[in-house]
Amino acid sequence: MTDHYDWERLARYISGESGATERADIERWAASSEANRAMLDSLKRRWVAASDAAVWNVDAAWSRFAPRLKGLKLEPGVIDIESRFNANAPWIRTARFGLVAAAAVLLMVVAVRMRTDVSAPGVETMAFTSAEMRTSIGEQRTIDLSDGSQVVLGAASTLRVADGFGTTSREVFLAGQAYLRVRHDSTRPFVVNAGGTRTIDLGTAFEVRAYPNEVVRVAVTEGVVAVRRDSGMVDSTVLQPGDVAEVPESGATVVKRQQNVERLLGWTRGELVFDDTPLSEVARELERWFDIQVHIEDPALQARKWSVPLRISEPLDDILDLVETTLGVSAKRNGNVITISSGPPRSPTAAPRSRGGRVEAGA
């Protein structure tokens, strides 16, 4: 396979219709880059998640979507089929499409991230034309905005663009996590509204994390940003590269200087980096990226600290083995429900495995 996606071959692969040679070829292609592997993993998850309750008109679907391949190119990233199309539509619920139907689904997935190579004169091209972009659990998406800025949207997140964006103002609303590289424009500051805070950018790169019921976090990699609450606080906190601000719902903003911000941004590179992170927070992060529910039976375990880098593409069972061997707990899996308790590990003799960084557990 080349750098361009061969949709028919991918369709055969995820539907189990590939021969041995083709399977090996696709697996080599997936192993050649993080983007390829993430794409294939995403398609596999969507295929497995489908059910078997519908009928799909294969020929009609192909005739409508095949022409869209011409003149289009794909931007790298993981695509979420459910965020752009109605997840309740019967064709999405189908579990076993024929080959051509599977290819049609792939095309619809790809259409979310494709744009024409050559735009018509006077027409501004955007990666998305919708005013609201979403990612599902375990999904990540790169978005090119009309002002030249770029957003990497993390799992289970929503980005809404304000009316008049790119013309009268540059204001967005975030629920979840995003890394932004902002095109400088001194006359129109870029504003991110998230979790009751306003992050004002002067032309830089930074992350905003604002999941429900969590402290808002802003981390800066380049340039300067100012952070303040929407109300109750007039003065802004100014952040420079390496600064990380945590803005609670009430109380003072906490600023940490000279932090390793790249570790916090590991999720943009397909990696989750936990650094003395309480197990309760680890559980929430795993739920967002692996579509699971984590129950911690012993309240005392929730405060246990964990330090380890994990690949998002890593099998969940391997991650649970690491939780057990490093923390000395039991992590039992029943479907997508994980129960962590103080009991003995499932494999008490297994040795902890390092993943290119420290693997530690603390009290």
Lowest mean pLDDT among 216-220, 228-232, 308-312: 228-232
Percent pLDDT > 90 in the chain is 42
**287 and 241 within one domain:** no
**55 and 25 within one domain:** yes
Answer for the pair 155, 139: CB distance below 8 angstroms, yes or no.
yes
| Cα 119 to Cα 129: distance, rounded to the nearest angstrom | 14
Does a structural domain hold residue 71? yes
Of 116, 142, 168, the position where a domain reaches its end is: 116
| Cα 343 to Cα 350: distance, rounded to the nearest angstrom | 15
Does a structural domain hold residue 100? yes
Q: What is the mean pLDDT of residues 331-337?
A: 92
Q: What is the mean pLDDT of residues 327-345?
A: 89
Give 202 or 75, the one with higher predicted confidence.
202
- Residue 139: Cβ within 10 Å count: 26
Per-residue model confidence as pLDDT tens digits over 238-265: 999 999 999 988 888 899 999 999 999 9
Number of domains in the chain: 3
Q: What is the mean pLDDT of residues 161-183?
A: 91
Q: What is the mean pLDDT of residues 332-358?
A: 69
pLDDT bracket for residue 352 (50, 70, 90): very low
**285 and 203 within one domain:** no
Does a structural domain hold residue 122? no
Lowest mean pLDDT among 3-17, 110-124, 275-289, 345-359: 110-124
**223 and 208 within one domain:** yes
Q: What is the mean pLDDT of residues 24-41?
A: 78
* Residue owning tokens 């991110």: 192
pLDDT bracket for residue 360 (50, 70, 90): low
Q: What integer pLDDT is reported at residue 351 of this predicted model? A: 45
**138 and 85 within one domain:** no
Q: Which helix (H) or strand (E) is 178 found in, with range?
A: strand 170-181
Q: What integer pLDDT is reported at residue 362 of this predicted model? A: 58
**286 and 243 within one domain:** no
Is the pLDDT at 2 greater than 70? The verdict is: no
**327 and 252 within one domain:** no
Of 59, 90, 116, the position where a domain reaches its end is: 116
Q: How many residues are listed for the chain in this entry?
A: 363
Q: What is the mean pLDDT of residues 80-94?
A: 38
Buried b (16+ CB within 10 A) or exposed e, 332-351: eeeeeebebeeeebeeeeee
**140 and 107 within one domain:** no
Per-residue model confidence as pLDDT tens digits over 113-149: 333 333 333 322 234 445 888 899 999 999 999 888 9
- What is the chain's mean pLDDT, rounded? 75
β-strand pairing of 293-296 with 244-247? unpaired
User: Residue 161 belongs to a domain with what CATH number?
Assistant: 2.60.120.1440
The identity of residue 17, as a single letter, is E
* Closest-CA residue to 223 (of 175, 275, 185, 182): 182
- Residue 145: Cβ within 10 Å count: 22
Checking 16-21 for CB contacts under 8 A at 24+ apart, the result is 17/99
Q: What is the mean pLDDT of residues 69-94?
A: 40
Considering the entire predicted model, what is its pTM?
A: 0.61
**331 and 294 within one domain:** yes
Of 116, 140, 174, the position where a domain reaches its end is: 116
User: Residue 316 belongs to a domain with what CATH number?
Assistant: 3.55.50.30
β-strand pairing of 158-161 with 237-239? unpaired
Is the pLDDT at 71 greater than 50? The verdict is: no
**277 and 248 within one domain:** no
Percent pLDDT > 70 in the chain is 67
Does a structural domain hold residue 126? no
Is the pLDDT at 88 greater than 90? The verdict is: no
- Residue 83: Cβ within 10 Å count: 19
Q: Name the 3-class secondary structure at 203.
A: coil
As separate numbers, helices (DSSP H) first and strands (DSSP E) second, the chain gives 9, 21
Per-residue model confidence as pLDDT tens digits over 191-228: 999 999 999 987 789 999 999 989 999 999 999 999 98
**182 and 111 within one domain:** no
- Domain range enclosing 98: 7-116
**99 and 59 within one domain:** yes
